[in-house]
Amino acid sequence: MARIVGIDLGTTNSLVAFMDGERPRIIPAATGARMTPSVVGLDARGRLLVGDAAKGQLTVAPERTVAEVKRLMGSAERVRLGERTYSPTEISALVLRALKEDAERFFGEAVDEAVVTVPAYFTDAQRQATKDAGQLAGLRVDRILNEPTAAALAYGLDHLDKEQTVVVYDLGGGTFDVSVLEMYEGVLEVKASAGNNRLGGGDFDRSLADWIFEEMERTHAVDARRDPRLRARVLSAAEEAKRQLSGSEAAIVSLGGIAVRGGAPVSFEVEVSRRTLEERIEPLVRSTLESVRSALADAKVEARGVAEVVLVGGSSRVPLVRRMVAELFGKEPRRGVDPDEAVALGAAVQAGLKTGAISAQTGIMITDVCPFTLGVEVSATAGSQIVGGMFSPIIPRNSTVPVSRTEIYATAGDQQRVVEVRVFQGDARMVRNNVFLGQYTVEGIPPGPKGSQKVAITFSYDINGILQVTTKVLSTGKEASITIDKSPERMSIEERTSSAARLDREWAPGRPAGAAASTLAAPTPAAAPPAAEAAAAPEGELLAAGKRRLAGLPAAQAAELGAVITALEQAMKAGDRAAVARHEARLTDVLFALE
């Protein structure tokens, strides 16, 4: 049977995993790193970069680099990389393609199918965009899995014999989800989900960056927001400080070359305390707890009745998050589940269930829910007035899927021959406050007084979050239907074909043989160890810029720059991702100080 992998397509980082026997396992990138940054860029020669190579140039070439594109999925926005523009779906496809090549290098054979995870609160348009991205990457994505559900699968694999209520709190780089699950006899039943698909650790970074901007302007009269490169450096420094503050009470933010005055570069340094960070992000963390309470209420579960709280997503490592979650539930969140890897491992478990790699004797089964209320627009009578634009729910939120529900409606006007069916998701009473999903027209209704003709509308929602709407005129049996998978922002078949051809052309033009997958080279046989492949990879743009700058420098400056370059090269050869990030940040500062 063909290989099926599980992929966590994250806002900040992405991972790919597979079933190794009956245990899920992460597939490393060509560099040996277990995570691939969800960053895409173009180098100075117009070649595509994905992952660490792209992240390395984020602070020096922000105009040619993009991160956190997951937040734009399902929208009509365009992403600019230099002179080129891409859709969010195309950018995500490039990340998926890099992961696909890592898997093919690992197995030494083709991989053409994946289970891909999405936030539980992703809309239908966002889910469809994710499936399209998989197709553009050369992957068949028959199964879309909610991220907290995937994390629950990874957790549940070792707790099949327990009967308990579990909450999965998933705070990633750009999205937040929470799911309440019941576990019994190998069954993981999702009872309710809630969340915010525009809240995550990136918001923590930006909040801390705002404080750094203010300090820089107060102490040095420099407005970093006006300089794209300096702004990118501040955001990167804020992210690093946030990470340090998870393990210490204070961190130093040091940036060289923020300005030039009197012919000399100006440097900036400030100490930021954990308390400062927590004061700024506390409202954001508190907002996640409101979603938790909503999910608990929908599941009819008391916080103190939850047996285990599983924290997922890198941002759940922030001490304030752990503390506030512990206060809500009256217990410490469970440790032992890797927050960064749980979702990808769970996706691999789902892939294993599909292929039979996990035996029937294991007995694991999972059910999920529709996180949104789905319904149609209707007119209602209020006294002697007819009020339009009202929302009539058909499938309540947190209904177990797959689910099918039917409601009967009557014609709203005399001699009405046509019914316009407009589909929405949300919980507001007026459709203008909900999300429009699609519409279609039912014609040929026999004319008569208002209310004389009845129309049955059936909503069917499947495990991938795809909605099928069918309308039947009861007096004639005439039917019409629509599958809500063609939002205005979704690519047409022709657009997907054209986009796939374009990405194929741009994928690896002029790449030398043996280049690493992180720079989008064509697949190579799975023979070289990670360190050797990293050593064979072409120089990153940042490293190349450093070497070019060496020429003509005074001896002291050349020695300082040369030492940083050497340290970065050694870290890249060793495949030490953390050291690479540190030395890249240092090299960036040195280069800016030299300008």
Residues annotated catalytic, as ranges = 8, 70, 147, 170
**Sheet strands (E) in 98-139:** 113-118
The burial class, CB within 10 Å (0-12 / 13-18 / 19+), for 486 is middle
Query: By the 8 A CB rule, do 173 and 12 touch?
Result: yes
Q: Is the peptide bond before 488 cis (omega within 30 degrees of 0)?
A: no
Strand pairing class (365-370; 187-196): parallel
Residue type, 454: K
Cα(78)–Cα(565) distance, integer angstroms: 35
Cα(203)–Cα(188) distance, integer angstroms: 31
Query: By the 8 A CB rule, do 438 and 487 touch?
Result: yes
Residue 290, token pair as written in the block: 């409101």
Cα(395)–Cα(71) distance, integer angstroms: 26
Query: By the 8 A CB rule, do 371 and 195 touch?
Result: yes
Q: Is 262 helix (H, G, I), strand (E, B) or coil?
A: coil
Output DSSP code: residue 330: T
Residue 331, token pair as written in the block: 């217990």
Q: In 3D, which of 255, 295, 290, 294 has the Cα closest to residue 272?
A: 255
Output DSSP code: residue 33: -
Strand pairing class (140-146; 113-118): parallel
Q: In the Cβ-directed half-sphere of 171, how many Cα atoms lie within 13 Å?
A: 27
Longest dimension (CA), the chain: 94
Q: What are phi and psi of 310, to 5 degrees?
A: -105, 120
Q: In 3D, which of 99, 88, 92, 93 has the Cα closest to residue 35?
A: 99
Q: In 3D, which of 138, 78, 133 has the Cα closest to residue 104?
A: 138
Residue 296, token pair as written in the block: 């608990």
- HEC-encoded secondary structure of 57-73: CCCCCHHHEEECHHHHC
